[in-house]
Chains A and B, each alone.
Chain A
Amino acid sequence: MKFRFAAIAALALFAANVAHADRLDDIKRAGVLRVAAFDSNPPFGFIDPQSKKIEGLDVDYGKAFAAKLGVKLEIIPTNPANRIPLLTANKVDIVLANFTITEERAKQINFSIPYFASGQQFIAKKGVLTSPDQINKLRVGVDKGTTNEIVLREKFPGATLVAYDDTPFAFTALRNGNVQAITQDGPKLIGLLANVPDKDKYEIPPFSVSDDLIGVGIPKGETRLTDFVNTTLRELEASGQAQKIYDTWFGPTTRTPLKRIFKIGDKS
């Protein structure tokens, strides 16, 4: 009796070990890659009105990973707050949800190398702003209470900052000529510009003054899975597939054309 109990316990322990042995093997065995993605954050992850499925830049990367592994892709919708709990509770294998790499988060999960950077950029009338050092001479509209304001004050002490309650107000000030440029995260600016009637007059100069690096969230300690993701990302960049994914969502023919200023491998 005692012997049988010990045997079961040993077996259970062994099984647990196998289950936790390696997530990469688990994925291959299950034949499914479970990816957490946003469902309302275009163009990163959103429900496509036609197909009723979650699509977007992040989802395209998920498809590429699944194809490389030769498994099916399962998308699990998430909100920002659930990204880490989904990983730690083993509900998903990886998170692809505009996930900014921070030291705090890196204590709880692994991050891949960055595959996207949403940097702080500017909108100005065409030709006004061509290089970052000009910012020191401009009046720049910022959103009150954002890190954009802090970054700008630190890096460009010569600039005159005018803080508004939100980005549309700042943009109105730019249109009227109260300020010569406004600043926000690039993807936000391009989304704003997409809805402006006289958008031809404005441009987003192709440089950023700070980078939020976006990476793939991976369960803590899954070294082989992390290596697989990193290797695949580098391959996607080398083959031109990463550029193709980018162009699908931010290319010149899209509603939100934003020049690509970050490539995979620029930062590790």
Chain B
Amino acid sequence: MIDELLAPRYLGWLLHGFFNTVVLAAVVCACATLVGFVLCVLRAVDRGGVSVAVRAYLSVFRNTPLLVQLFFWYFGVSSLFPEGWLEWLNTPHTWRVVALHVMWPPFEYLAGFVGLTLYTSAFIAEELRAGVRAVPAGQVAAGLAQGFTPAQVWRHIVMPQALRIALGPVLGQYMNAIKNSSLTMAIGLAELSYASRQVETETFKTFQAFGVATALYIAMIVLIEWGGQYLRRRVAYPH
């Protein structure tokens, strides 16, 4: 049975890939939430050109396949760079920020990060907007009638309810971001799916390689699920 298992060296590869997936997904989720929030607010407060621009952004990023977007950022955009840029981007740079060594990631990571973040932010923006729209318009009118400024209405009446309503769907988008991150293996980003392919090629232990990867993906999703349930209980309004 022992020789049916993966050697430590290959488990190491898979764990390294898992680490890359976790870091990539975490950074993508954090940045996509920020961008999504800004997009949602911009679309809500503006009725003119800005709103049109945001709608165009949402339709472009929501309605094209993520794989094509990743190819665009990795192969398409980099072909427009002047010579020398990519070389600089791909050479390791390190900075000391306080006591931390900050490692500059290779271009695969940059392109994967940009592609995933923009794609995910478009979905999160719409989940947040759905949350905002779920707050009855009468509450906004009531707030304004009470003498709240529009900003105060947003801050104290709309947002607290909208964020609670949107919590579940946004967590669902986080899970999608984790699963979507596997597509970055097409642009050479060494995340979990890439690592499982590599292990499979070297060991021919197909079931084990993809089995471990599957288990790790499930573990990540389950953790978010649990965290979401806990968070929802914590922030729920008392009935």
Contacts and interface: CB of A to CB of B under 8 A. Distances in A.
B197 interface: yes
A172 B78 CA distance: 10
Interface in B183-199: 185-186, 188, 194, 197-198
A176 B79 contact: yes
A178 B73 CA distance: 12
Nearest to B194: A163
Given A165-B186, A172-B75, A177 B197 contact: no
Nearest to A149: B201
B83 A144 contact: no
Given A162-B188, A163-B188, A176 B201 contact: no
B83 A163 contact: no
A150 interface: yes
B75 A141 contact: no
A63 interface: no
A178 B202 contact: no
B74 A178 contact: yes
Interface string B165-205: 00000000000000000000110100000100110111000
Contact of B81 (A145, A146, A164, A177): A177
B188 A164 contact: yes
A160 interface: yes
A175 B185 CA distance: 19
Given A160-B106, A162-B188, A164-B188, A178 B86 contact: yes
Contacts of B139: none
B194 A176 contact: no
B201 A173 contact: no
Contacts of A149: 198, 201
Contacts of A172: 75, 79
A144 to B, nearest CB: 6
B4 interface: no
Given A141-B188, A163-B188, A177 B87 contact: yes
Contacts of A176: 75, 78-79, 81, 86
Contact of A163 (B79, B86, B107, B198): B198
B90 interface: yes
Nearest to A146: B201
Q: Is the interface of B mostly helix, strand, loop or mixed?
A: helix
B158 to A, nearest CB: 45
B126 interface: no
A139 interface: yes
A173 B188 contact: yes
Contacts of B90: 139, 177-178
B108 interface: yes
B218 to A, nearest CB: 24
Contacts of A141: 188
B78 to A, nearest CB: 4
Interface string B93-114: 0000000000000111000000
Nearest to B107: A178
Interface string B50-77: 0000000000000000000000001100
21 contacts: A144-B197, A145-B200, A145-B201, A149-B198, A149-B201, A150-B201, A150-B202, A162-B106, A162-B188, A163-B197, A163-B198, A165-B186, A169-B75, A172-B75, A172-B79, A173-B75, A173-B188, A176-B78, A176-B79, A177-B87, A178-B188
Given A145-B197, A178-B74, 18 more contacts: A144-B198, A145-B200, A145-B201, A160-B106, A162-B108, A163-B185, A163-B188, A163-B198, A172-B79, A177-B81, A177-B83, A177-B85, A177-B86, A177-B90, A178-B86, A178-B90, A178-B107, A178-B188
Interface of B: 74-75, 78-79, 81, 83, 85-87, 90, 106-108, 185-186, 188, 194, 197-198, 200-202
- Give 5 closest A-B pairs by Cβ, nearest first: A177-B86, A162-B188, A176-B78, A145-B201, A176-B79
